[in-house]
Amino acid sequence: MFDMKEQSNTLRHLVTCSLCGEKYHHDRTIVLEENDLNATFHLTCHKCNTSVLIFVSNNQQNIISLGIATDMNGDEVVDFFKGGAITTDDVLSVYEKISKI
């Protein structure tokens, strides 16, 4: 049986900082959503302080993951995603927010 939690946990521990290549320390990781179909994390690099949002989606047993660099800190991200499940629209609005900076 497919285990999204295990998959996303594995993925989270494989990802490295796109800027400096450092492995993330997960004491600063915020899990924004984690269910059978989707997982969303906010990771912050302990070395260069770059933050990234990782979206993981389980699409018919194929894991799709998407990482977006963001200058939102953990608190802002929690605010941003507060009030419900994260949808594709939310992901798009993150893109829009980032592209305006």
CA distance 77 to 92: 14
Provide φ and ψ at 63, rounded to 5°.
-90, 125
Our finding on whether 23 is near Zn ion (CB under 5 A) is: no
Minimum CB separation of residue 22 from Zn ion in Å reads 5
Query: Which helix (H) or strand (E) covers residue 89, if one does?
Result: helix 88-100
Interface with Zn ion (CB under 5 A), residue from 30, 32, 39, 45? 45
Closer to Zn ion at the Cβ: 7 or 73? 73
Interface with Zn ion (CB under 5 A), residue from 31, 47, 66, 71? 47
Are 15 and 53 within 8 A, CB to CB? no
Closer to Zn ion at the Cβ: 28 or 97? 28
Q: Mapping DSSP to helix (H, G, I), strand (E, B) and coil, where does residue 13 land? A: helix
Our finding on whether 69 is near Zn ion (CB under 5 A) is: no
